Copies of this chain bind each other. A is one copy, B any other.
Amino acid sequence: MTEAVTASTPLSDDEVRRIDVYWRAANYLSVGQIYLLGNPLLREPLRRSDIKPRLLGHWGTSPGLNFCYAHLNRVIKARDLDMIYIMGPGHGGPAAVANAWLEGTYSEVYPDVSRDGPGMERLFRQFSFPGGIPSHVAPETPGSIHEGGELGYSLAHAYGAAFDNPDLVVACIVGDGEAETGPLAASWHSTKFLDPVRDGAVLPILHLNGYKIANPSVLARISEEELVQLLDGYGYRPVVVSGDEPESMHRKMALALDQALDEIAGIQRAARDGGDTARRRWPMIVLRSPKGWTGPKVVDGLPVENTWRSHQVPLTGVRDDPEHLALLEEWLRSYRPGELFDEEGRPFPALTGLAPEGERRMSANPHANGGLLLRPLKLPDFRDYAVPVGKPGTTTSEATRVLGTFLRDVVAGNPSNFRIMGADETASNRLGDVFAATDRVFEGERLPTDEYEIPAEPGGGRGGSSPRRLFAPHGQVMEVLSEHLCQGWLEGYLLTGRHGLFNSYEAFVHIVDSMFNQHAKWLKVTRRLPWRRPIASLNYLLSSHVWRQDHNGFTHQDPGFLDVVMNKKPEIVRVYLPPDANTLLSVGDHCLRSRDYVNVIVAGKQPALNWLPMDAAIAHCTRGIGIWEWASTDGGADPDVVMACAGDIPTLETLAAVDILRQLFPDLRVRVVNVVDLMRMEPDTEHPHGLPDREYDALFTTDKPVIFAFHGYPYLIHRLAYRRHGHDHLHVRGYKEEGTTTTPFDMVMLNDLDRFHLVMDVIDRVPSLGGRVAHIRQRMADQRLALRAYTREHGEDAPEVRDWTWPY
C-alpha cells in the first residue's frame, strides 16, 4: 500500500535551491534562539558573552519541523492552499517562531521584534528567557492553535480544525514520541469521522527521527513493512520520505507532498462533484530524518546528530568550553548566514519569496486565531423550552432531556458552527432529541440495524415516533468511545472559531483532566494577548452523575472533576449545578453565549422534581445563589438554621429534610439557600463571580449553623468558603467515596447525605433543639435503617422515599 518516493521529481534545481535556502534560514534562526544573546548575524567571531547563560530549548525536532514548513510553503503558493500547521512536537518552539519571523508575521504581531538585525537580536534573546517567550509552541506563537507542552493531542486538534472547514487543509506533524501516547494512537481513526464533502482535509506527517528524550521511539524501530501495515490499517495511504542528504530529501518531499495533495483533491472532488462518498484511505507522509539534522555530528567524542543527545541543547558547555564555542560557531556558519540575510539583517527577497502572502501564511492564517472567524451562535429563545411548573416539587422532568430539545434547535440553527461531542453517551445522557435535527457522524460501514428512534435511549424507553435516522458521513453529533478524542476534536473546533459542547458521564471526564488543564492554561495566556481574539467557551455537560449510577456503581462515582477545575485561574473557570430542568436551560443558554471560559455544568438525567418556573429559574440563575423563600420557614429573617444545597440530588434531600423538620418542629425557623453558580461561594476578591462578604453573610448568617448538602466532595465547599465569617458553623455533606450498584436512596444514605441524616445534623447543631430531642434523633436514625432494609429486601427504594413530593 505504500509507495517509495524516488528522487525523480518535477522540482527544478532552482526550486530545490530556494527551498534549501529557506530551510537553512529557519534552522539558523532556530539555533540562534537557543544560544545567542548578541551578535545575531555573526558579523564578528562568536564570543562567550554572545551566549545565553542558561541554554534552554529543544533542537532535536526543529530542523524537521523547518523542513516541512518550507515545503508546505511551496505547495501553498503553488496551489493557493488555505492551510494551517499543527506541530505535535511543539517543544520545537524555535522552529515555529523562526518561520513566523521569516514570513513577517512575527513582526506584525510583535512590532518590537522587527524583521531586521535588531529584531533578530530581540528574537533570539527573548526565546526561553525570563520575561520573554516560552520555549514551546505556545499561545504567544503566531499561527499556532496547539500548545507543545503535553504530547498526544496534535492529530485530534487537526481533525477538529478540519471539521466544517471544507476548504482548509491541516498539516499535522506527529512526532514519533507523541505517537506512542494513547490519545494520539486513537486519533488516527479520526478518518472514520471526516466527511470529504463538508469537512476539510488533514495531512498527517509522521516525523520519525528515532528518539524521544532518552529512548528510541517505538514506531521508528519497527520494520517499515510493519509500520506501513499499521498506517494502512489506520486507514491511510502512507508515502515514506527517508534520508539525510538535503538535496535528494527536498526532491522526495516535494514529490510526496504533490502526490498527497493531488490525492486529497481527488478524494474531495470525487465526493463533492461525483457524489462518491465511500470512505477512502487518505494520504499521509512518513518523514524519516535524523534527529538534530544538520546539527553537530560529534561532540566530546560522542555522536550527537541522529541520537537522543540532540534532543535539547546539543552543545551544553559553550560558555565554558572554547571547543564547544567553536563548534557552535561552525554549526551556525554552516547555514551561510551571509546568503540569507542582508546588511540590515533582513532576509533576502529571494528567500522570503518562497513564503505565501497575507492570510495564506500559515503563521497568519486566521483559522489559527479562531476568534477572528467566530460567528455567534443563532440561539433560539431557551424560554420556549421551559417545562411548566406550578407548585414547586410536584412534577418531574428529566433535566437533560429537556435541555436536549433546546440543543436540537441549536443544532438545527447552526449547521456548520456547532457540534456536540460524546463518548457514546449522548443518548444515554438523554440528549437524544438532537437526533431529530442531525445525524451521528460515521464513515464506517453502516448497517440497517444501526437504526434508532427519536427520542431513543438504549435499555430505556422505546416507542419514539419521530423519523428514524441513520449514521451519516456528516452530522453535528460526534461519538467515539474516547474522551480524549472528544475533547481534542472539540478543542480543535473551538480554537478555529466554532462552538460546541462535550457531554460526558461525570466520572469519566477525569480521563481528560490533563487536557482540560492544558486548555485552561492556553485560555489564560491568550486572554492576556490582545491579538488573540476571544473564542467560544469549552462547555462540559456532566450527566449520569455520581448519585444516579444505578447500573454502574462505584467505578462510575466520582465528582472530583470540579476540584480539578477549581485549581485553574478564576478568570477562566465556571461551575454550575442547576437543580432542575428550567435552571439547566437557563444555565445552558448562558454558557453557549460565553467566551474564553471553561464552563462545567452538572445535571441529572433521571426524572426529578421541578422546582422553579422559568421566570424564577432565570432570576435564580442570574443571581447564581439565593434563598428559596417558598421552602423556608424563617419568614425572611433570623433563621435558626440554614439548609444550603447545590446539585439536583442534594436539593431534593434538603427539601425533603425541610419537610420533615416542618412536621417535627413547626416553630423551627429554617432557611433554604440554593447554589447554582458554585463560584458564588468564593469571596469576590478570589473570583469575579464571588459574593461580597456582606451578601454572603446576609444569606448564610454569620453565626447560625449551616447544613450544606453538596453534589461533590464536601471539602470543596470548605475550600471555597474557608474565609467566610460563618465558616466555623458550616457543616458540609457530600460524596465521601462510598457507593456501589444500588438504589438512589441507598446512595445518599451511604454518604450521609440523606434527608434523615440532614435532620439529624440539624438536631445536633441547633442549640435550641439539642438534648431535648434525642428520641426524635433516634427515630430518624431508625427510619433510615428501616429504609435501607426495605431497599435490600425489595431491590428498590421504598415508595415514601421514591415518590416524595414537596407537600406545601
Contacts and interface: CB of A to CB of B under 8 A. Distances in A.
B567 A442 contact: no
A350 to B, nearest CB: 34
Interface string A278-315: 00000000000000000000001011001111011100
A371 interface: no
Contacts of A463: 300
B452 A214 contact: yes
A558 interface: yes
Given A303-B449, A551-B57, A456 B214 contact: yes
Nearest to A222: B444
Contact of A560 (B309, B427, B459, B517): B517
B552 A136 contact: yes
A507 B150 contact: yes
A481 B151 contact: yes
B218 A229 contact: no
A228 B794 CA distance: 49
Contacts of A184: 182, 186
B222 A524 contact: no
A309 B553 contact: no
Nearest to A221: B444
A232 interface: yes
Nearest to A721: B722
Given A216-B446, A715-B719, A484 B182 contact: yes
Interface in A477-499: 479-482, 484-485
Interface string A223-246: 100111111111100000000000
B227 A792 contact: no
A303 B510 CA distance: 35
A53 interface: yes
A189 interface: yes
Contacts of A58: 551
Contact of A180 (B138, B149, B189): B189
How many copies make up the complex? 2
Of the listed residues A54, A221, A481, the one surrounded by the most CB atoms of chain B closer than 10 A to its CB is A481
Nearest to A140: B740
Contacts of A440: 215
A341 interface: no
Contact of A130 (B307, B424, B521, B795): B795
A556 interface: yes
A718 interface: yes
B181 A182 contact: yes
Nearest to A516: B510
Interface string A515-550: 001100100110000000000000000000000001
Given A150-B507, A233-B233, A308-B458, A550 B54 contact: yes
A517 B233 CA distance: 33
A615 interface: no
A182 B189 CA distance: 10
Contacts of A147: 555
Interface in A432-484: 440, 442, 444-447, 449-450, 452, 456-460, 462-463, 471, 479-482, 484
A212 interface: yes
A181 B177 contact: no
Contact of A214 (B427, B715, B718): B427
Nearest to A305: B449
A178 interface: yes
A567 B556 contact: no
A200 interface: no
A306 B445 contact: no
Contacts of A569: 737
Interface of A: 1, 37, 52-54, 56-58, 91, 128-136, 138, 147-152, 177-178, 180-187, 189, 192, 210, 212-218, 220-223, 226-235, 300, 302-303, 306-309, 311-313, 316, 424-428, 440, 442, 444-447, 449-450, 452, 456-460, 462-463, 471, 479-482, 484-485, 507-508, 510-511, 513-514, 517-518, 521, 524-525, 550-556, 558, 560, 563-564, 566-569, 713, 715-716, 718-719, 722, 727, 737, 740-743, 746, 788, 791-792, 794-796
Given A54-B550, A134-B554, A567-B713, 9 more contacts: A130-B742, A130-B792, A136-B553, A177-B424, A192-B218, A215-B442, A218-B444, A226-B232, A511-B513
